[in-house]
C-alpha cells in the first residue's frame, strides 16, 4: 500500500465530496490536509504558502494530490526540489468560469490555473468536456494580456492530462414507482449561485403552477452568504408546492429527500461534471438537462432525446410530457447505466492512476539516505 497526501484548500461542496470519497474508497493510504470552504480567491493565492509552512515532512509521501484551489507553482517553489510528484485535480477552472452580473473579472485567477497546469507533474480532469474546454480556452485567454504574452504550451499541458470522473455514492437499487406519481416531486439540488441559472428553473415552474399542473418541489443545495433573489421570490410564489426548501443539514437527510423525488432539473450555464445529477438519477429521479456542457457526456447518447432539452420552451414541453406520461422502464434503464459512476466502479481507475504516478523512489529509503 502506497501513501499519498491530498491537499484541499476549499474543503466543501463537490471538493469535499470528492476528497472524502477518494480517501474512503482507495486501497492506498491517503492523508488529508484541508482548509475551510470560504474566501476562494484568498485560497488560490495563500493556501500554498500556508500548506508548506504547516505540513510536516512532505517528503514522506509518494505523490501529492491537490485541487485547483492551490497554486501549484507557488507550492513547488516553496517546498523545494525534493517534493514528490504533484497531481493536480481540476474541479473547475477560472479561465472559463462565468461572471455574476456586476462582477469584475480578475485575470490573475485564470492565470493561476494556467501556471498550475504547466507546473503540475500530472493533471486529472473530471470530464472530457472540461479538459477540452480548458485547453481550447487558454489561447484566447492569454491574448487578453497586454504584451510579452507566453505561448499557450497546450501540447505540454495536454500530455499530462487524463480524464477520470469523480465517483458518487449511489443506491444499489433505488425505489422506482411502477405507476405514474400523481404529484411528482421536482428536485433542485445545485448550489444557489448565478452559474446554475436558477431564474430559468423557477420561471418554468411558475408557468406550470399557473396552468395548474400537479407537482411538488424540493429545493436543496448549498447556499452561501448571498444568493440570487429568485430563491426568496420562488419560496413565496410556490409555497403551496414546497416540501423542502434549503440546505439539508446532513447527508442522510439529503439522500432521503432525493429518494422522495421523481424529476431532477438543471438549467446551468456552467457544469464540468454534475455530481448532483448523477446522485439524483441514482436515487430514481428522471433528469431534464440542457443540451450543453458536460451533460451530453454523462448522459448516454441513447437517452439524449429524452433527457436533454434545446431551450426553455423545449424544457417546458418535455417536463409536461414527463409529468403526464411516466415511463418506469426507461428510468430503470437509465439508472442502471448511471451505476458506472458509483465509487465502487470508479475507484480502480484512481488506484491504478496513483500507483502509476507515484514517485519511483522509495520514500523511506530516500529519508534514510538524507539523514
Query: How far apart, in whole angstroms, are the C-alpha atoms of residue 283 and residue 172?
Result: 9
Q: Are 209 and 240 in contact (CB under 8 A)?
A: no
SS3 296: helix
Burial profile 97-135: b = 16 or more Cβ within 10 angstroms, e = fewer = eeeeeeeeeeeebbbbbbebbbbbbbbbbbbebbbebbb
> Do 3-166+344-370 and 185-341 come out as alike in CATH topology?
yes
pLDDT tens digits for 257-284? 999 999 999 999 999 999 999 999 999 9
pLDDT beyond 80 at 319: yes
Q: Say how far residue 30 (Cα) sits from the centre of its chain.
A: 21
pLDDT tens digits for 37-92? 999 999 999 999 999 999 999 999 999 999 999 999 999 999 999 999 999 999 99
User: pLDDT tier at 361 (50, 70, 90 boundaries)?
Assistant: low
The better pLDDT of the pair 44, 367 is held by 44
| Backbone dihedral angles phi then psi of residue 202, each to the nearest 5 degrees | -70, -30
Q: Are 232 and 258 in contact (CB under 8 A)?
A: no
User: pLDDT tier at 369 (50, 70, 90 boundaries)?
Assistant: very low
CATH annotation of 3-166+344-370: 3.40.50
Average predicted confidence (pLDDT) for the chain: 95
Regarding the domain delimited by 185-341, which CATH topology (the fold level of the hierarchy) does it fall under? Rossmann fold (3.40.50)
pLDDT beyond 80 at 197: yes
Query: How far apart, in whole angstroms, are the C-alpha atoms of residue 212 and residue 222?
Result: 29
Query: How far apart, in whole angstroms, are the C-alpha atoms of residue 96 and residue 154?
Result: 16
* DSSP tag of 212: T
- How large is the average pLDDT for residues 136-165? 95
- 0.85 surpassed by pTM: yes
Amino acid at each position: 500500500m502506497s501513501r499519498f497526501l491530498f491537499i484541499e484548500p476549499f474543503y466543501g461542496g463537490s471538493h469535499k465530496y470528492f476528497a472524502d470519497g477518494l480517501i474512503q474508497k482507495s486501497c492506498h493510504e491517503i492523508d488529508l490536509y484541508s482548509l475551510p470552504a470560504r474566501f476562494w480567491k484568498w485560497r488560490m493565492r495563500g493556501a500554498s504558502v500556508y500548506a508548506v509552512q504547516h505540513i510536516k515532512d512532505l517528503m514522506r509521501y509518494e505523490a501529492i494530490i491537490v485541487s485547483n484551489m492551490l497554486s501549484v507553482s507557488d507550492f513547488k517553489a516553496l517546498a523545494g526540489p525534493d517534493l514528490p510528484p504533484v497531481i493536480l485535480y481540476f474541479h473547475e477552472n477560472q479561465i472559463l468560469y462565468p461572471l455574476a452580473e456586476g462582477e469584475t473579472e480578475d485575470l490573475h485567477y485564470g492565470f493561476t490555473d494556467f501556471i498550475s497546469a504547466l507546473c503540475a507533474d500530472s493533471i486529472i480532469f473530471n470530464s472530457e468536456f472540461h479538459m477540452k474546454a480548458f485547453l481550447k480556452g487558454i489561447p484566447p485567454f492569454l491574448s487578453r494580456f497586454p504584451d510579452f504574452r507566453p505561448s499557450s504550451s497546450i501540447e505540454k499541458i495536454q500530455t499530462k492530462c487524463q480524464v477520470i470522473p469523480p465517483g458518487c455514492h449511489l443506491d444499489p437499487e433505488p425505489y422506482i414507482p411502477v405507476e405514474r406519481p400523481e404529484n411528482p416531486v421536482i428536485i433542485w439540488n445545485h448550489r444557489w449561485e448565478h452559474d446554475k441559472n436558477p431564474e430559468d428553473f423557477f420561471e418554468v415552474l411558475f408557468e406550470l403552477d399557473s396552468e395548474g399542473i400537479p407537482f411538488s418541489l424540493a429545493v436543496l443545495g448549498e447556499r452561501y452568504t448571498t444568493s440570487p433573489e429568485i430563491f426568496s421570490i420562488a419560496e413565496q410564489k410556490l409555497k403551496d408546492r414546497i416540501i423542502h426548501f434549503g440546505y439539508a443539514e446532513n447527508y442522510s437527510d439529503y439522500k432521503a429527500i432525493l429518494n422522495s423525488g421523481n424529476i431532477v432539473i438543471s438549467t446551468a450555464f456552467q457544469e464540468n461534471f454534475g455530481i448532483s445529477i448523477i446522485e439524483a438519477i441514482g436515487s430514481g429521479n428522471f433528469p431534464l438537462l440542457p443540451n450543453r456542457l458536460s451533460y451530453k457526456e454523462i448522459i448516454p447518447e441513447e437517452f439524449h432525446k429524452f433527457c436533454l432539452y434545446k431551450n426553455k420552451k423545449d424544457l417546458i414541453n418535455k417536463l409536461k410530457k414527463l409529468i403526464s406520461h411516466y415511463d418506469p422502464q426507461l428510468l430503470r434503464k437509465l439508472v442502471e447505466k448511471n451505476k458506472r459512476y458509483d465509487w465502487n466502479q470508479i475507484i480502480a481507475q484512481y488506484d491504478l492512476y496513483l500507483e502509476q504516478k507515484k514517485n519511483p523512489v522509495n520514500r523511506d529509503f530516500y529519508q534514510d539516505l538524507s539523514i
